[in-house]
Every structure is written in C-alpha cells, then in structure tokens.
A and B are shown apart, each in its own frame.
Chain A
Amino acid sequence: MSSYEARFRVWRGDVGGGGLEDFAVEVNDGEVVLDIIHRIQATQAPDLAVRWNCKAGKCGSCSAEINGRPRLLCMTRMSVFTREETVTVTPLRAFPVVRDLVTDVGFNYDKARQVPAFVPPKGLAPGEYRMMQEDVDRSQEFRKCIECFLCQDTCHVVRDHEENKPAFAGPRFLMRVAELDMHPLDAADESGLDRKRTAQDEHGLGYCNITKCCTEVCPEGIKITDNALIPLKERAVDRKYDPLVWLGSKIRRRS
C-alpha cells in the first residue's frame, strides 16, 4: 500500500465569516475525500464540522463541493486527483452555512412539504393496489434519489439567484411532481389537483432552462432533466400552451 501527503484547503467558519484553511495530510490507497476529512478531524482540527453517515453513497449526508464541484465526500476517490493537486473542500454554496462544511438544507424540506402527496385512488384500500411494471418504471427511477440535494445546490436558478427560492422548487422536487404525475394510481386529477398546471404555476417549472447541471451532479445517475423535467415541461405544454391538446380534451370530455 502506498501513501503520500496531500494538500487540502478546507473552508472553515460560520455565518459570521470564514476562509479556506490549509492542511497537509496523509492519503492512502483506496481512500475517499471523506476519509481525508476525518483524518484532518482526528489529527489536526478536532472541531472541524462535517455531516456524514453511511460512507456508502446512500444517505446523502456528506454533500459538499470539491474543487468547486458539488459531490458526495464519500464517493469521491482520492485517485481522481493528481498527487500534486491541492484539493479544495467547501460547504454547499447554495444554502446558508451552519459551520465549516455543514449547511442548513432546510429550504429543501420546505419545498418537499409544498408538493401535494400521492392521492389514493377511490375504491382501493392499501394492499389492493396493483400496477404493471412498465407503468412504474419511470417513477422508480426517481425513487433512487438519496436526497443529497446536490442537484438543488448546483441549479443556478437558486444558486445564483436567492430571490428565486420562494418561487422555484428546484430539480429534486419538480422530479417529485413528475414522479407523482406519472404514477399509474395517483388520483390527483380526479380530486381536482392538476399537477401539470401546478408544476408550472406553483413550483416554478418555467424557471428551469434545462441546462442539465442537476443531471451532471446526481450521484445516483438519475436522468433528471431528460426523464423528469423535460417530460414535465411537455405535460405543462399540454395543459397551458397547446390549443390542439386542449381542444382534443374538450371534445373527448363531451363525448
């Protein structure tokens, strides 16, 4: 096993201010950035704050920015950097900082609460739901989300424009709207809830300019833009901007 000494710059501070702090730290074969952050914590900066849990890329806790790119600390191998490279680690830059590498991601929980839940179909009790696999494939891709909020962090709509946060749910929660709208048993339409229309009117789908950063950073490899956001935009077009679809729906309803 070989080891070397890497140079790290880690942002330290809180809401009052802070800066990048330099560390020289040992790196061994097979380690990931989170291992190095833990070594810094164990040997040089015991009060360094970092949020983590599973170390397996499944809990979504250790989201941060490594060399300016939103990534999971536990899924970023040190072998992707050269030994001469200085690795810079900062907290997520779209959310308020709590301390060091820990941010307040409460914005995302607020947005989650704003998406109306699955509407159970009438006449079916829990346990009686039956769905064909091909009908749930699309929604199941979105269920792989580990809620790391890297997509929310990288989305320039809120990252670069704090003022858009009240109006824009962000890719993760627009994906949730898409998931429910594609759900074969969701009875939102029958209950008077038009998810296609509210995606645009209440969750800010129109702010998305499909530049695919959410897809680029997703550690689960979910095709957020192609499989959720663009299909949702097309569904919103059906409702709001396509007179032929509107006319067709009126004729079908009458017949």
Chain B
Amino acid sequence: MATGTEPHPSSGGVRTGTRAAIAAPHLRTDRWWLAPAATAAGLFAFIVYSTWRAFANADYYAAPYVSPFYSPCLAENCAPMRGGPNWDLLGGWWGVSPAIIILIFPLGFRLTCYYYRKAYYRGFWMSPPACAVAEPHEKYSGETRFPLILQNVHRYFFYAALLVAGILTYDTVLAFRDENYAWGHMGLGTLVFLLNIVLIWAYTLSCHSCRHIVGGKLKHFSKHPVRYRVWQWIGKLNARHMQLAWASLLSVALADFYVYLVASGVFDDPRFF
C-alpha cells in the first residue's frame, strides 16, 4: 500500500512544483558517496604533501637527481646543480622557495584539466556529488562566469605543460649519471624518474585540448591523414585520461619523495651500475 501521499514540497531543484512529489533529495541505494569521498581525500592528501614540499625549500637535490617540484629552478637561491635545470632568470630578489615559480604551470594545467574539473566539482564542490544526487547549491551558473570561465585557458597551460615535460625529460636523462656526474650509470632513482616521465608525457598528451589541437578541430579528417592518425592515437590515450591523471600525480609525488629521502640522508640511492 502507499506509504502516504505527499504534497509537493516547496523547495526547489529536484523537488520543484510540477515534478513527482518525492521529498528525498535522492533515492540511490548504492555507495554513491565513495567515489567523490575517495577523490577528495586523494586530492587533499596531494595538496598537503605538495604544499609542504613546495614551501620547504630544502632537500630537493641529491646528485644526480632533482625533484620535479623544483625543476626548472629559476632563482638565484637554487641549490647548485651541475648541468642541471637551474637557470637564474629571476635573480636574487626572489626570496621564497623557487618551486613556487614553476609549480604554477603544472598546477594550472591540472586545475583546468577536464578530468580534474570533474573530480573537484564532484569531490569538493558537490556540484553534483554524484549522478542523480541533488547538489546543495541554490544557484548554479557553471562555467559561464568569472572565475570559472577562466577554465577556457586550459590549452595555454597545456602548452606550458609540454615545456615542463620537456625539462623533466632532460632531468631524467641527467639521472643516468652517478653522484660524481659520470655518465652511463643507473640507480633506483633513475627508474623512479623514468616511470615518472613516461606517465607525465602520457598524461600531458592524453589531454583533451591536445586531442583537439592535433586533429579534433578538423572537419575533414580525410584531407589530413597524418593529423587523423595522430588524433586517433591521442584518442586512445585520452580514453585513459583519468587513470593517467592519478598515476602521474602519484608518480610525481613519488619522484619528489625519493629525492627528499636521498637528499635528507635517510638512505643512499641503490646503484645498479
């Protein structure tokens, strides 16, 4: 039998006047909260870790490894790195951690990334927390107004991310030296850096803006066979953009943490040859 005839609730949203009179904001019975909660916890953990490391301004170089958080190092107060990515562009006036200068680019790339947008809109802003679960906000204008309209600059952060990935590739090449800068050596850190750079490139190239730029914007693929091939290849990577976003986030933190452990003397980098 009916559990009771409910009049229309006065509140808006999913309970607006002419819709079915159901008081509950949602009727989902699965663990819909798990994915946004795990996402928010993962992102929060990374924010805490990266903030600590970015402002620490210490233990970011242990020859031949430089932390990806501090590369390239563009201020005078950078640790000396022989052949490394330290270019004194800003001079001596920069007094705080040099990581802040460069991190703005990968941070902007990830903040405006189409996957991360979904992740934090759901996980932090609950807009919506999950599909068919009512969001708590009374008003919604999406990405039509300032500041969220700035998400449209994603492709410029993508260009910057390409440069950063190029520099991290250079760092990985430098990791084939030993602590005395002799070439042709390899340690556990080299493997960590290799893993990181592969994931960084895969994440960067799987970007939706990249997919658009290489070929998605075309109307006639048949007139641009090379770009069509590249678009198809990027599309395959793009289908795994979420997994690559998380994997590269973890790998960049791992690479930094490895350098921190070696630089702070917790252990010596095991050398293979």
The residues of A with any CB-CB pair to B shorter than 8 Å are 9, 11-13, 15, 17-22, 65, 67-70, 85, 88, 90-91, 93-97, 103, 132, 134-135, 153-154, 156-157, 159-162, 164, 182-184, 204, 206-213, 216-217, 226, 230-231, 233-238, 240-242
Contacts and interface: CB of A to CB of B under 8 A. Distances in A.
Nearest to B128: A156
B29 A94 contact: no
A206 B128 contact: no
B121 to A, nearest CB: 5
Contact of B217 (A206, A238, A241): A238
A164 B140 contact: yes
Interface of B: 1-8, 12-14, 16, 18-22, 26-30, 114, 117-118, 121-122, 127-128, 131-135, 137, 139-144, 148-149, 152-155, 208-209, 211-212, 216-217, 219-222, 228, 238-239
B160 to A, nearest CB: 14
A161 B140 contact: yes
Question: By DSSP majority rule, is chain A's interface helix, strand, loop, or mixed?
Answer: mixed
A134 B221 contact: yes
Contacts of A183: 219
16 contacts: A17-B21, A18-B20, A67-B30, A69-B132, A135-B220, A135-B221, A160-B134, A183-B219, A211-B121, A211-B128, A213-B131, A213-B132, A233-B152, A234-B217, A238-B217, A240-B152
A68 B142 contact: no
A97 B19 contact: yes
A21 B155 CA distance: 52
Contacts of B18: 15, 96-97
B244 to A, nearest CB: 14
A90 B1 CA distance: 15
Given A90-B27, A132-B222, A156-B140, A241 B153 contact: yes
Given A160-B13, A207-B142, A211-B122, A93 B135 contact: no
A67 to B, nearest CB: 5
Contacts of A216: 131
Contacts of A209: 117-118, 121, 127, 142-143, 148
Nearest to A160: B13
Contacts of A213: 128, 131-132
A67 B114 contact: no
Contacts of B5: 13, 17-19
Contacts of B122: 211
Contact of A211 (B22, B30, B118): B118
A241 B131 contact: no
Given A15-B18, A18-B20, A234 B216 contact: yes
B208 A159 contact: no
